[in-house]
Amino acid sequence: MKILKIPLSAGNLKQKKGLEKGPDAVAGEVKNFFLKESEVLPFLDVEDVKINNSNIEEANRQIAKAVSGLDMPAILLGGDHSMTYSAFRAFSKKYSNPGLLVFDAHLDCENDFSPPTHEDYLRVLIGEGHLKKENAVVIGVRNMHTNELEFAKKSKLKIFSMPEIYQEGRHVVADSFMSVARKFDALYISVDVDVLDPAFAPGTGYTEPGGLTTRELIYFIQRLKNLKNIQMWDLVEVNPDKDINNITVMAAAKLVVEMS
Ligand SMILES: [Mn+2]
């Protein structure tokens, strides 16, 4: 599968350094996983996308251009989560009823910033009409602001929160989100590595206690791989500068292998 490295950090509000190093670090570790757990050889064809981090508008155009010309299915390696805005926007033009399923500790539905950042890209995608609100699914949420919650309730976003996953169990929750996801003519799955518990992924900008284990996220990815409509994956918010013993980078590389 084609993998595009997108070293974007310009949509990161804290302006912390390191997110631009995520794609190279993760792609560099992929070779350590010999077979997928399904005993199939992963085939990964890695390519670089040039990103101008001093100009977010240009960076957004660079991402959109790369995605528009891409053969699907493909994996995008970020970079900060604002890249999902430009990527999904370009992606959505190719299909009649595209859906977005996101793994994230956060809703990323803050009041609009302009241009979109990694704190509001989802709200902007819906607000600008690139994504139907009924076609947005967010899994693993456990910390949100009041205004994000109000927006999510008003828009009837499908949220599978961390307490729900814990109480209902991973099988039941996976059945539920799969039945939603299979209805789209094209499915885009975005994985913010902060959906993992900080014990499993300390190398990210906004760590949130009480998250998924690496094993639980692999289980969800393996379930989703049974769907025929997956056209795009992204994996975002890996910050090697904040990592400890390469734990996050290795986990992310393993997730990419299972996505492929
Ligand atoms: Mn997040």
Cα of 12 to ligand 1 centre, how many Å?
11
- Predicted TM-score (pTM) of the model is 0.97
For the residues 84-88, what does the mean pLDDT come to? 96
pLDDT digits (tens, 9 = 90+) for 126-146: 999 999 999 999 999 999 999
Q: What is the arithmetic mean of pLDDT over 167-188?
A: 98
d(CA 234, ligand 1 centre) in Å: 13
Half-sphere exposure of 77 (CA within 13 A, CB side): 35
Region 41-68 average pLDDT: 95
pLDDT tier at 11, thresholds 50, 70, 90: confident
**If you measure from the C-alpha of residue 193 to the centroid of ligand 1, how many angstroms do you get, rounded to a whole number?**
7
- What is the 186 CA–ligand 1 centroid distance (Å)? 23
Q: How many Å lie between the centroid of ligand 1 and the Cα of residue 196?
A: 10
Quick one: pLDDT band at residue 207, thresholds 50, 70, 90?
A: very high
Question: Domain range for residue 250?
Answer: 2-259
Tell me the average pLDDT across 62-89. Answer: 96
Q: What is the mean pLDDT of residues 150-173?
A: 97
Which CATH number does the domain housing residue 29 bear?
A: 3.40.800.10
Residue-wise pLDDT tens digits, 245-254: 999 999 999 9
CA of 195 to the centre of ligand 1 (A): 7
Q: What percentage of residues in the chain have a pLDDT greater than 70?
A: 99
Number of domains forming the structure of the chain = 1
206 CA from centroid of ligand 1 (Å): 7
pLDDT, residue 118, reads 86
Residue 15's pLDDT is what?
A: 64
| pLDDT mean across residues, the chain | 95
Q: Is the pLDDT of residue 172 over 80?
A: yes
Query: Distance from the CA of 207 to the center of ligand 1, in angstroms?
Result: 8
Centre of ligand 1 to C-alpha 19, Å, is 13
- Give the Å distance between the CA of 55 and the centre of ligand 1: 22
| % the chain with pLDDT above 90 | 93
- What values do phi and psi take at 188, rounded to 5? -115, 125
Q: Ligand 1 centroid to 192 CA: how many Å?
A: 6
